[in-house]
Amino acid sequence: MNKFTSLLIALSCSVSAAFAQSNDLMDMLDKDGSKPKKKEEVTATFKATRIINGSSVQNLAAGVLDFRISHRFGRLDQGLENFLGLDNATTKIGLDYGVTDWLMIGLAHSAYNKENEGFMKVRLLKQKKQGTPITLTYFGSTSIQTMTAPTLAAGQEWYFTNRMYFSNQLLVARKLNDNISLQLMPTLIHYNLVDSTKFSNNTFAVGVGGRIKLSKRLALTGEYFYRLNNTDLLFNGQRTYNALALGLDIETGGHVFQLLFSNSPGMTERTFVGQTTDTWEKGAIHFGFNVSRVFTVVKPKEFRKSAEKKEW
Q: What is the pLDDT along the chain (312 residues), one digit of tens a residue?
A: 554 445 434 434 443 444 344 444 444 444 555 555 667 999 999 999 999 999 999 999 999 999 999 999 988 887 676 666 677 889 999 999 999 999 999 999 999 889 999 999 999 999 999 889 999 999 999 999 988 887 777 777 888 999 999 999 999 999 999 999 999 999 999 999 888 889 999 999 999 999 999 999 999 999 999 999 999 998 888 999 999 999 999 988 767 899 999 999 999 999 999 999 999 988 899 999 999 889 999 887 665 555 444 444
Nearest CA to 171 out of 155, 153, 185, 192 is that of 185
135: three-class secondary structure by DSSP = strand
pLDDT score, position 35: 53
CATH code of the domain covering residue 255: 2.40.160.40
pLDDT score, position 87: 74
Gap between the Cα atoms of 115 and 144, Å rounded:
6
Gap between the Cα atoms of 121 and 294, Å rounded:
17
Domain count, the chain: 1
Neighbouring CB atoms inside 10 A of 206's CB total 13
Phi and psi torsions of 291, nearest 5°: -120, 130
Residue 22 lies in a domain: no
Q: Long-range contacts for 174-178 (Cβ within 8 Å, ≥24 apart)?
A: 174/45, 174/127, 174/133, 174/134, 174/135, 175/42, 175/44, 175/45, 175/127, 175/135, 178/213
Gap between the Cα atoms of 187 and 2, Å rounded:
81
Nearest CA to 61 out of 311, 308, 302 is that of 302
Neighbouring CB atoms inside 10 A of 18's CB total 10
Gap between the Cα atoms of 55 and 171, Å rounded:
8
Residue 53 lies in a domain: no
For the four alpha carbons of 275, 278, 280 and 282, in that order, the dihedral sign comes to positive
Buried (b) or exposed (e) across 161-188, using 16+ Cβ within 10 A? Answer: eebbbbbebebbbbbeeeeebbbebebb
Gap between the Cα atoms of 205 and 80, Å rounded:
36
Residue 18 lies in a domain: no
Gap between the Cα atoms of 142 and 135, Å rounded:
24
Residue 247 lies in a domain: yes
Identity of the amino acid at 168 = N
Radius of gyration, alpha carbons of the chain: 27
> Which H/E stretch holds residue 145?
strand 135-145
Residue 297 lies in a domain: yes
pLDDT score, position 36: 55
- Residue 118 in contact with residue 106, Cβ under 8 Å? yes
Residue 152 lies in a domain: no
Gap between the Cα atoms of 46 and 59, Å rounded:
9
pLDDT score, position 123: 97
Residue 94 lies in a domain: yes
Domain range enclosing 244:
64-147+160-303
| pTM of the predicted model as reported, rounded to 2 decimal places | 0.82
pLDDT score, position 259: 96
Q: Long-range contacts for 21-29 (Cβ within 8 Å, ≥24 apart)?
A: none
Gap between the Cα atoms of 273 and 254, Å rounded:
30
Gap between the Cα atoms of 193 and 202, Å rounded:
10
pLDDT score, position 77: 81
Residue 169 lies in a domain: yes
